Amino acid sequence: MSAKPALSLAVSLVALLAASGAVFAADVSVYEPVAEAPVVDDGADLVIELGAGGRIAPEYEGSDEYTVSPFPIVAVDYLDIPGLFVIGSRDPQGGGFSFGPSIGYVGERDSDDFDDLDGLDDVDATYEAGIRVGYEWSFAEVYGEARYAFGGAEGFVGGFGANAIARPVQELTLKAGPFATLASDDYTETYFGVTTAEAFTSGYDAYEPDGGFKSVGVAASARYEFRPDWFLNADASYSQFVGDAKDSPIVEAGDDEQYTFGLGLSKRFTLDLF
């Protein structure tokens, strides 16, 4: 990949963090910090966060071209089912076990739109739905996620990782750490494989990849509470394909290094269900 997309992502993230700090310093009269982190109403049974944003990401798996697409923000911070279980904490910085939905979307891959895909079959949009679980301490967290993919590609995808956590001020949370992704055979064959028929029309060698580890990388995120229960979220990542995904002729023609950058807005909701 050329340095331009990576540089743009880095500059955007740095600019966001600088702007967050400036807002915090200049607007303390609107949102004054308190001595301790606010705790959600003791009567709450469910604390959920909902929002949306936009993300810069490769046009397709292995592409060296980038596009902007929307993405949802959904997280369950706390759930108390009386007599059964309690997950998470009412304290926004309380840590502990957490879970929530994990949703993914891969846009349609139209071979006519890209010279590197000429002669390959089109792939319809793929939808992914599953669950994300994690455990957070004061200065670190671990997490894992698994999703079922359907539509253009079918199979299972997922990943796991760990982050270091820093909170320079109460309203700002920074995270960074390594991660790895996995995919099943069917999913990998759809996005990285070349059938015998496609080899004849595209000029690529036929290639039938197996599932397993798909990529490894590092990710960073910044989360700023600019008003009580309102958050500005930014994230960026760098990853590199590994294993059979990296050896794909499609990736070799594109780029085995992939970058993403996302920016979104979300709101925390507190509900008394029981």
**What is the set of domains in the chain, with CATH numbers?**
3-271 (2.40.230)
pLDDT greater than 90 at residue 88: no
Element (H, E) at 253: helix 249-253
Mean local confidence (pLDDT), 188-214: 96
Higher-pLDDT residue of 6 and 140 is: 140
Closest by CA position to 125, among listed 146, 112, 107: 107
Instruction: Return the structure tokens found at 184.
Output: 């099943």
Instruction: Return the structure tokens found at 152.
Output: 């253009």
Report in angstroms the alpha-carbon separations of 253 from 1, 117, 122, 260: 11, 9, 17, 19
Closest by CA position to 72, among listed 58, 98, 92, 54: 54
Report in angstroms the alpha-carbon separations of 235 from 20, 56, 114: 14, 10, 27
Summarised one tens digit per residue, pLDDT across range 108-157 is 999 999 999 999 999 999 999 999 999 999 899 999 999 999 999 999 99
Strand partners, 114: none
